[in-house]
C-alpha cells in the first residue's frame, strides 16, 4: 500500500511543478509581448502623425490665393531653407496630439523616469509592492496604505504594522522615512496619500504638480505604475465621474502595484495618483486628485502655475 501512495504524491508534486513552470513562462511571455506591442505602437503613432501632418501641408501648398484683381493666382510662399515647412509640420503634429489625446513619446519616456518601485514588509513578514513618484530633494509621493497598515485589528490577534519601506533606485533598495500622510483609515479614501523621503543623493527628474486639473468627463489621462511589480508601465484611459468622497473614476488598468503611481494630464504634469480599483474589475480605477495639503512638507516643489508664470 505504501508504493501507490508514494507514487501519487510524486505525481502530484510533479504536476504542481509543471503548472508553476507553465504559469511563470506564460507571465514572462505576456510581459515580453506587452513590451513589444508598446514599442510597435510608438512607431505607428509617430508615423501616423507625420503622414497626417505632411498630407495637410501638401494640401496647403497646393492651395492658391487671389492676387489683386487680375484673376491670376499665386502659390503660398515657402522659405527655401525649409524652416517654414518644418514649423508647420510641428504645429500640425502638436494639434493632432491635443485632439487625439496623445502625449509625445519622448515626454512619456521622461516622465517614466520619475517613478520608482516601492516595497514594504510588515511584522508578519508579508511583503507588498506599489509605486512612488519623485518630487525632488529626496521626497516621494505614494499611497498611505502602501507605507502604513490600515487593516482593522482583529480581536486576539496582534495588530499589523509595516516595519520596513524601501524604494528601488538604480538597482538598490533605499530605506525611506514617512514624512507626512493623509487621514485615511481605510483604502480608497481621499486621505489615502503619504509623503516619504529617502536619504542620499537622488538624480531622478522631479515631477511638476498641477493641483488645479479639472478631470473633465472623457478627458484622456496617462497612468504610470509598477504594474504587477514588473517595472513602471504606461496605461492610458479616460476620466469618468467625480465621486462625493473626493475621488474620480477612470477607465484604465488598475492592476496590483500601480497604487501610488502617477496620473498625468495633457501637458505631462502630475495631476493625481491611482489608489485602487473596483472590486473584481481591473479596468475600472479610482484616482485621487492631488491637492495642496499633500505637499505642505515638501520643500522646493515644482508647481505648474509657477512654471507658467
CATH of the domain at 261: 2.40.10.10
Say if 9 falls within a structural domain: no
Residues 214 and 170 reside in one and the same domain: no
pLDDT of residue 74: 44
Q: How many alpha carbons fall within 13 Å on the CB side of residue 68?
A: 2
> What is the rounded distance in angstroms from the CA atom of residue 104 to the CA atom of residue 42?
9
Residues 125 and 144 reside in one and the same domain: yes
Q: Which of 180, 198, 216 is the last residue of a domain?
A: 198
Residues 149 and 87 reside in one and the same domain: no
Query: The domain containing residue 88 runs over which residues?
Result: 47-58+83-96
Residues 123 and 194 reside in one and the same domain: yes
Say if 27 falls within a structural domain: no
Strands 208-209 and 302-303 come out as parallel
Say if 279 falls within a structural domain: yes
Along the 309 residues of the chain, how does pLDDT read in single tens digits? 455 666 767 766 677 666 666 656 655 665 566 566 556 656 665 665 566 556 655 655 554 444 443 444 444 444 444 555 566 555 554 544 444 445 678 888 899 999 999 999 999 999 999 999 999 999 999 999 999 998 766 666 788 899 999 999 999 999 999 999 999 999 989 999 999 999 888 999 999 999 999 999 988 889 999 988 889 999 888 999 999 999 999 988 788 899 999 999 888 999 999 998 877 666 788 999 999 999 999 999 999 876 655
pLDDT of residue 71: 44
pLDDT of residue 48: 57
Q: Which of 173, 198, 223 is the last residue of a domain?
A: 198
Say if 72 falls within a structural domain: no
Residues 144 and 216 reside in one and the same domain: no
Q: Which of 175, 198, 221 is the last residue of a domain?
A: 198
Say if 241 falls within a structural domain: yes
Residues 186 and 214 reside in one and the same domain: no
pLDDT of residue 68: 41
> Torsion angle of alpha carbons 14, 17, 18, 20, nearest 10°?
160
Residues 224 and 269 reside in one and the same domain: yes
pLDDT of residue 301: 96
How many domains does the chain fold into? 3
pLDDT of residue 151: 72
Say if 12 falls within a structural domain: no
Residues 127 and 179 reside in one and the same domain: yes
Residues 241 and 274 reside in one and the same domain: yes
Say if 106 falls within a structural domain: no
Residues 148 and 121 reside in one and the same domain: yes
The pTM assigned to this predicted structure is 0.69
Residues 177 and 240 reside in one and the same domain: no
Say if 218 falls within a structural domain: yes
Residues 189 and 212 reside in one and the same domain: no
Amino acid at each position: 500500500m505504501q508504493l501507490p501512495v508514494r507514487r501519487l504524491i510524486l505525481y502530484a508534486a510533479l504536476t504542481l511543478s509543471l503548472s508553476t513552470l507553465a504559469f511563470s513562462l506564460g507571465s514572462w511571455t505576456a510581459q515580453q509581448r506587452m513590451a513589444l506591442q508598446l514599442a510597435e505602437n510608438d512607431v505607428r503613432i509617430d508615423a501616423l502623425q507625420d503622414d497626417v501632418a505632411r498630407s495637410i501641408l501638401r494640401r496647403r501648398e497646393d492651395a492658391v490665393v487671389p492676387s489683386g484683381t487680375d484673376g491670376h493666382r499665386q502659390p503660398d510662399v515657402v522659405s527655401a531653407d525649409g524652416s517654414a515647412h518644418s514649423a508647420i509640420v510641428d504645429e500640425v503634429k502638436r494639434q493632432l496630439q491635443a485632439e487625439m489625446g496623445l502625449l509625445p513619446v519622448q515626454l512619456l519616456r521622461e516622465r517614466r523616469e520619475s517613478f520608482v518601485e516601492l516595497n514594504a514588509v510588515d511584522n508578519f513578514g508579508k511583503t507588498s509592492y506599489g509605486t512612488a513618484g519623485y518630487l525632488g530633494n529626496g521626497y516621494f509621493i505614494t499611497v498611505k496604505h502602501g507605507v502604513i497598515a490600515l487593516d482593522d485589528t482583529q480581536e486576539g490577534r496582534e495588530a499589523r504594522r509595516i516595519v520596513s519601506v524601501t524604494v528601488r533606485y538604480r538597482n538598490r533598495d533605499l530605506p525611506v522615512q514617512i514624512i507626512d500622510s493623509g487621514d485615511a483609515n481605510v483604502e480608497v479614501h481621499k486621505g489615502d496619500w503619504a509623503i516619504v523621503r529617502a536619504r542620499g543623493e537622488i538624480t531622478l527628474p522631479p515631477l511638476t504638480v498641477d493641483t488645479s486639473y479639472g478631470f473633465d468627463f472623457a478627458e484622456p489621462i496617462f497612468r504610470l505604475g509598477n504594474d504587477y511589480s514588473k517595472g513602471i508601465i504606461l496605461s492610458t484611459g479616460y476620466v469618468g465621474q467625480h465621486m462625493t468622497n473626493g475621488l474620480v473614476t477612470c477607465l484604465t488598468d488598475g492592476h496590483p502595484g500601480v497604487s501610488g503611481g502617477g496620473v498625468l494630464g495633457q501637458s505631462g504634469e502630475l495631476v493625481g495618483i491611482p489608489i485602487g480599483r473596483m472590486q473584481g474589475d481591473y479596468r475600472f480605477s479610482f484616482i485621487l486628485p492631488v491637492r495642496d495639503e499633500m505637499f505642505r512638507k515638501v520643500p522646493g516643489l515644482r508647481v505648474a502655475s509657477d512654471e507658467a508664470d
